[in-house]
Structure 1
Amino acid sequence: MITRRTTLALLASVFAPWKASAAPYIDADFFKEKRDKGELPPLDQRLPKNPRVINLKAMGREPGQHGGNIRMLIGGQRDIRLMPIDSYARLVGYDEKLNFIPDILESYTVDEERIFTLKLREGHKWSDGSDFTAEDFRYFWEDVALNLEIHKGGPPIELLVYGKPPLVEAVDPLTVRYTWEGPNPDFLAKLAGASPARIFLPAAYMKQFHVKYQTPEMLAKLMKKNKADDWSSLHIKMSRQLRPENPDLPTLDAWRVITAPPAEQFIFERNPYYHRVDENGRQLPYIDRYLLNVTSSEIIAAKTASGDSDLQFMNLDFNDYTFLKDAEARYPLKVNLWKRSQGSRVCLLPNLNCADDTWRTLFRDVRMRRALSVAIDRHEINMVCFYGLAKESADTVLPESPLFRPEFATAWAQFDPELANRLLDEMGLTERNDRGIRILPDGRPAHVIVETAGESTLETDVLELITDHWRKVGISLSSRPTQRDVFRKRAMAGEVLMSVWFGMDNAIPNADMLPSGLAPTGDDQLQWPVWGIHYLSGGREGKPPDLPEAIQLLDLFKKWRRSVTFEERKAIWLEMLSIYTQQVFSIGTVNGALQPIVHRARLKNVPEKALFGFEPTAYLGIYMPDTFWYDGSA
């Protein structure tokens, strides 16, 4: 059966733009010294036989020229994880219209929604010059995913269907086939994700850290050198593709890290074997190096406005816009506003798994969640914090999504303190203290501590307004900043009553994208982290949901994963969105908020308007930063 996505893949292959082999390839001067010394082969020996050609003119952009560095400010060394996200080299990726397109792969086919055949590019190489072949997929599957010393719980749950792993076949050196017993409709979306499913590793490099291929004596030396307790910990540490902390780990990304932590500056330099070229045969990326400079997150906006960054979005927020815009007059900067693609810019997440028995019982009563939601004056938040430019809404999909329905956005999102008071009274919370704060069943004042990651003054401003709103219906609120990693661990332990975070990660989905954010499926879902880790761990950790509506959402999510038609997936998405918004599992405020994107004025091909978020756009990723370039004449 030829599916819709198979057709897209075939079209992408048949109607590919001009082949770069029609003209000489153009190498970057960055590698001239290595070429002259014979340390690096000529470009035509470094590119795949059929590289991916990016036709920039057809995209309405300008073909560019090689050279230059981009400085970016980061708030800590963990933020080097931005580079694999922004580089956005994927087996299958999204284009700017969120259609699937082969990227690292030359092509792919999908049969019966369960058989995926991946065709690699002949001659494609890792950044160290070793061949990228089906062996890299076989190695990951047989020697890593199925190795219980590395994956103690068995293969990653994201690769299971009906709880069973796929049959993985290396058909030939350039062809890999994955066959599941049942449909796996989100496999391509997982490969295209900002944090993609991992299904391959550079085997030639990684085998030195594997007990199957290395002597015990050499493994012992490598463990000592890299401060690992055992060979499996060593292997895990050295193989982190999404945390580029190992400069020796080969990559397929546009830039490769050459700095090991700890450091104050992390340097990423161009990959000499990168698989993309522009329509003129010029190898991408255009930019030679990224310099990620670590600084305090609190001063990143100020340093950006002082010209210390050439491309910046991290640690900037809408409340920095006026300040940044003023800097355009002093420095050669350009400030764009992109539309954020989260379901809510600031979202409150009552922890349905909190350890406090009284609050847990209250939060699991939908009347409490609805009351807290309708007690919020979203119009005031929009006008005060977003100059009226955002949209007052529940935490749900944006109008840009084909799944958008107005009733999802308005569900329990009206400002109605009278209704909020009535719902709270119905719950029996009728007694108040002398400050007008309601008394809980255990005699305590109804005081909610909202925990934050302490990274956004915008969140603080919104919480100050909500504090006033809730006080008028007898609920007291205070906020407590905590470091992000600590904050999430405390939520998992039940120590957090309520969190403030973004809403839905991906609020511009289509029906072919996984509805994981609407059901307890992950430990980073702060409204139900214990239920989420239970699903994510295959039942080894946490507890299963025991709230009927949460159970229903999880059942629908599993049904989606077994679906075989687009229409079925669409119906499931709409049902899940209806349940989620009516149950107010997350309390949204506004969405469609704007995100400042600051760049050097002479940096070309940075979109003036775009969608901004982690999923599915991978921040800058789908807009192809490897095609950004400096105009020397500007």
Structure 2
Amino acid sequence: MRKSAGGTIMGWSRLSPAAAMALLWLCMTALGAGAQGALPDEPLRVTLAGKGREPGRPGGELRTILPRDKDIRLLSAWGYARLIGYDERLDLVPDIAARIEVEEGRIFTIHLRAGHRWSDGAPFTAEDFRYFWEDVANDPLLSPAGPPDLMLVAGKPPRFEVINETTIRYTWDAPNPGFLPALAQAREPYIYRPAHYLKAFHARYGDNAFIEEQVAAEKVSGWAALHNRRDSMFANDNPDLPTLQPWVVRNPMPAQRFTFERNPYFHRVDEKGQQLPYIDRILVDIADPSLIPAKTVAGETDLQARGLSLRDVTALKSGEASANYLTRLWPIAKGSQVALYPNLNANDPVWRSLMRDRRFRLALSLGIDRADINATLFFGLGTQGNNTAVMGSPLFDADRVSRNATFDPGKANALLDEMGLAARDASGFRLLPDGRTMELLIETAGESEEESDVLALIAQSWAGLGLKAILKPSERSVLRNRVYAGEAVMSAWSGFDNGMPAPGMPPLELAPLKQETFCWPKWGQYAATRGKSGEPVDLAPAQQLLDLFAEWEKAPDEAARARVWTRMLDLHADELFTIGTVMGVSQPVAVSKALRNVPEKAWYGWDPGAQFGIYRMDEFWLDRN
């Protein structure tokens, strides 16, 4: 066999990259070439007893149900293998990395676990970081926008060094306090890639004939599009792509059932030295969202939260005995179950002017009967108030929750009159300054019956203010595009993803830094693209939030960061850039009685939390006896 300049064995070019790698690894093992066994030399040892858990028995299949095939990406969050991740106390602890040394807040040296391997048996080394940094993040075809934001400080990238096979270093000119929290996100940024697999699809390394053949077969525009399609670390849509997660997807999309199998090279062990995960396979069935509660009650799942809401609790409790499961209620760690997002960048000049007027936003907030929403839809178990840090966060403040969020229609009407909006049409609805009836279109993704019910109650309350609220459900991508373009005047979504913040977490959602925050999409786009798109901030309180975020980035310690967080949260409670409804609503979690080590009391959040991820699903085990 001959080799190309990049080292590809030409005689194997007809094999898939995964098959070629597996064959190469078998040959190396047969020759005694450095086989290290299934575990790293120094695996991560977890102490289950310290968590009130018990060592388990390996084996078994765990069943769960998801509403869409693309939702299998959640397994990448639930597995929650990260270079560094949050524990249940929200402390950052090394995981895939053996340790991370930080100097001056700007020099990060990452030490890997010697002998650690990808799920296909190939070594996980510094080369995987080098490949990402040099051949993906800084390749103009693969990453036209350049390196991701977490790798930039004041727009400048770090100096990257490979110290040895298991050590890499990133050095920035200034501190990068958001780097480690970013690595711990539910949606991992993946600053490494399986180089041994992806090089086959990279023009710099792969065999041209093989790449051209694959490009034609996939009907994509070129090698970069092919590489990006294969390089889907989070999506779980490429069974050939090696992973470091506890389970590996085995069948491609589309499918009605997906099988995830145990990663034989996973890096964690229990106190007895038994390799995790305990569970051999996770079977994911795809079902219509409306059927998930009934399927859960019928006992067709072992662990279920997706597709369940508080309205399902009565039915879930009734099925516990016959279907052999228990229903647990975990408070949702979002800033608000449903929140309203006035679009401060709306195209309509009249509505934009109103949305930017604090008095109008305050009137909308005071005009919501949150107690009615809580009692009617959430059995009175939630906490009515703003979109802010929830109970359990070190930044929680009860006064901030209720500030400007009590039901006071008299004051709300007085504020609207003060704004010159006293004129009404024949039906009693207020008129806009240009004479139009004040019809406020609230746009939604149309995915949640609960959300629609909340908005219907809000519309009923606002009618008492002379404001006609009209609900417009669409589809998620349509909603986002309309918000981003400024066509949507107001939208509804859940509250802050990070309702459980700690001072060391970047307050990204609190400042206009991302287009995805629906109250200021164009300002966020301007910040995210470094001025190439969007609009610069031109509202003083929003600019103050940007200034505070910059202050957080330069803060010397946790106490200083906590002070910045507090000021930003207070500013949100005062200005009402988003309008919350009810927080602390419980997420029903149906847990098979055979499933062990699932916490009885927990909170359910995305970032931080990764839903089940922070509770280490690899430690769950099945006792079918």
* Distance in 2 separating the partners of 1:157 and 1:148: 16
> Which SS does the other structure have where 2:97 is aligned?
coil
Q: Hey, what does 1:325 align to over in structure 2?
A: 317
Are 1:605 and 1:628, in contact at CA under 8 Å, matched by a contact in 2? yes
Residues 25-75 of structure 1: per-residue CA shift (max 9 Å, x gap) = xxxxxxxxx9xx999999971110011111111211011111111221111
Identify which of 244, 248, 253 aligns with 2:245.
Answer: 253
Q: Hey, what does 1:316 align to over in structure 2?
A: 308
Residues 463-508 of structure 1: per-residue CA shift (max 9 Å, x gap) = 1211111000111112122221222122112222211111111111
Are 2:131 and 2:195, in contact at CA under 8 Å, matched by a contact in 1? yes
State how 1:93-112 maps to structure 2 within 5 Å: 93-112=85-104
> Which SS does the other structure have where 1:596 is aligned?
strand
Q: Hey, what does 1:402 align to over in structure 2?
A: 394
State how 1:362-373 maps to structure 2 within 5 Å: 362-373=354-365
Task: State yes or no: 1:412 paired with 2:411.
Answer: no
* Distance in 2 separating the partners of 1:39 and 1:430: 86
* Distance in 2 separating the partners of 1:473 and 1:179: 56
Give the letter for the 1:57 counterpart.
Answer: A
* Distance in 2 separating the partners of 1:40 and 1:370: 72
Structure 1 residue 233: Cα displacement: 1.2
Deviates more, 1:484-493 or 1:109-118: 484-493
Structure 1 residue 263: Cα displacement: 1.4
Change in Cα spacing, 1:164 to 1:442, as seen in structure 2 (3 Å) is same
Identify which of 180, 184, 196 aligns with 1:204.
Answer: 196
Give the letter for the 1:461 counterpart.
Answer: D
* Distance in 2 separating the partners of 1:238 and 1:123: 25
Deviates more, 1:495-504 or 1:41-50: 41-50
Structure 1 residue 270: Cα displacement: 0.8
The alignment covers a number of residue pairs equal to: 598
* Distance in 2 separating the partners of 1:483 and 1:424: 32
Q: Hey, what does 1:451 align to over in structure 2?
A: 443
> Which SS does the other structure have where 1:207 is aligned?
helix
> Which SS does the other structure have where 1:525 is aligned?
coil
Identify which of 532, 538, 547 aligns with 1:540.
Answer: 532
> Which SS does the other structure have where 1:45 is aligned?
coil
Residues 200-247 of structure 1: per-residue CA shift (max 9 Å, x gap) = 101111111111112332221121223321111111111111111111
Q: TM-score, normalised by structure 1?
A: 0.92
Give the letter for the 1:394 counterpart.
Answer: N
Change in Cα spacing, 1:426 to 1:166, as seen in structure 2 (3 Å) is same
* Distance in 2 separating the partners of 1:39 and 1:479: 67
Are 2:496 and 2:509, in contact at CA under 8 Å, matched by a contact in 1? yes
Give the letter for the 1:627 counterpart.
Answer: E
Q: Hey, what does 2:558 align to over in structure 1?
A: 566
Q: Hey, what does 2:290 align to over in structure 1?
A: 298
Change in Cα spacing, 1:383 to 1:289, as seen in structure 2 (3 Å) is same
Are 1:157 and 1:537, in contact at CA under 8 Å, matched by a contact in 2? no
Give the letter for the 1:411 counterpart.
Answer: R
Q: Hey, what does 2:618 align to over in structure 1?
A: 626
State how 1:583-598 maps to structure 2 within 5 Å: 583-598=575-590
Change in Cα spacing, 1:38 to 1:432, as seen in structure 2 (3 Å) is farther
Q: Hey, what does 2:222 align to over in structure 1?
A: 230
Give the letter for the 1:284 counterpart.
Answer: L
Are 1:157 and 1:538, in contact at CA under 8 Å, matched by a contact in 2? no
> Which SS does the other structure have where 1:106 is aligned?
strand
Q: Hey, what does 1:474 align to over in structure 2?
A: 466
Task: State yes or no: 1:141 paired with 2:130.
Answer: no
Q: Hey, what does 2:367 align to over in structure 1?
A: 375
Task: State yes or no: 1:188 paired with 2:188.
Answer: no
Q: Hey, what does 2:567 align to over in structure 1?
A: 575
Structure 1 residue 530: Cα displacement: 1.7
> Which SS does the other structure have where 2:321 is aligned?
coil
Q: TM-score, normalised by structure 2?
A: 0.93
Q: Hey, what does 1:283 align to over in structure 2?
A: 275
Structure 1 residue 290: Cα displacement: 1.2
What's the C-alpha RMSD, in Å, of the aligned pairs?
1.9
Q: Hey, what does 2:71 align to over in structure 1?
A: 79
Q: Hey, what does 2:496 align to over in structure 1?
A: 504
Deviates more, 1:41-50 or 1:383-392: 41-50
Structure 1 residue 405: Cα displacement: 2.3
Are 1:339 and 1:609, in contact at CA under 8 Å, matched by a contact in 2? no
> Which SS does the other structure have where 1:361 is aligned?
helix
Deviates more, 1:79-88 or 1:480-489: 480-489
Structure 1 residue ranges without an equivalent (≥5): 1-33
Are 1:393 and 1:409, in contact at CA under 8 Å, matched by a contact in 2? yes
Q: Hey, what does 2:545 align to over in structure 1?
A: 553
* Distance in 1 separating the partners of 2:80 and 2:254: 25
Are 1:520 and 1:532, in contact at CA under 8 Å, matched by a contact in 2? yes
Change in Cα spacing, 1:40 to 1:287, as seen in structure 2 (3 Å) is farther
Are 1:451 and 1:480, in contact at CA under 8 Å, matched by a contact in 2? yes
* Distance in 1 separating the partners of 2:61 and 2:352: 51
> Which SS does the other structure have where 1:612 is aligned?
coil
Identical-residue share of aligned pairs (%):
46
Are 2:138 and 2:147, in contact at CA under 8 Å, matched by a contact in 1? yes
Structure 1 residue 121: Cα displacement: 0.2
State how 1:145-164 maps to structure 2 within 5 Å: 145-164=137-156
Are 1:68 and 1:287, in contact at CA under 8 Å, matched by a contact in 2? yes
* Distance in 2 separating the partners of 1:42 and 1:387: 61
Moved over 3 A (4+): 37-44
Give the letter for the 1:243 counterpart.
Answer: A
Q: Hey, what does 1:531 align to over in structure 2?
A: 523
> Which SS does the other structure have where 1:606 is aligned?
coil
